[in-house]
Amino acid sequence: MPFNNLFGTVSRHDCYEKNADIIKFEKFTALALVPNFLVERLFQVESPPLMVNSICDRPTMPRLIFICCGLQPPSFCSG
């Protein structure tokens, strides 16, 4: 899932360098383009695993995606 890669990159670093200045991350908003069926399964079912504006940690997100798609999460999602 490509958008998980962006989440992971930002979560592993607390700053970046631009024009010899160190810019610290204070907060970030992650956006992703995902298919409608995934949005429905993650947010719009009777007991959704995610809520709008909720916080989901890095190991949980891919596990939820696999489960919502009816797949067994691989071992790297065991977090």
pLDDT per 10-residue tile (average), the chain, 79 residues: 51 78 77 84 89 81 86 73
Q: What is the pTM of this model?
A: 0.56
DSSP 32-56: ----HHHHHHHHSSSS-SS-TT---
Q: Can you give the pLDDT at residue 7?
A: 53
Structure tokens at 14: 């607390």
Q: Can you give the pLDDT at residue 11?
A: 58
Q: Can you give the pLDDT at residue 32?
A: 74
Q: Can you give the pLDDT at residue 2?
A: 45
∠ CA 24-9-67, nearest 5°, is 135
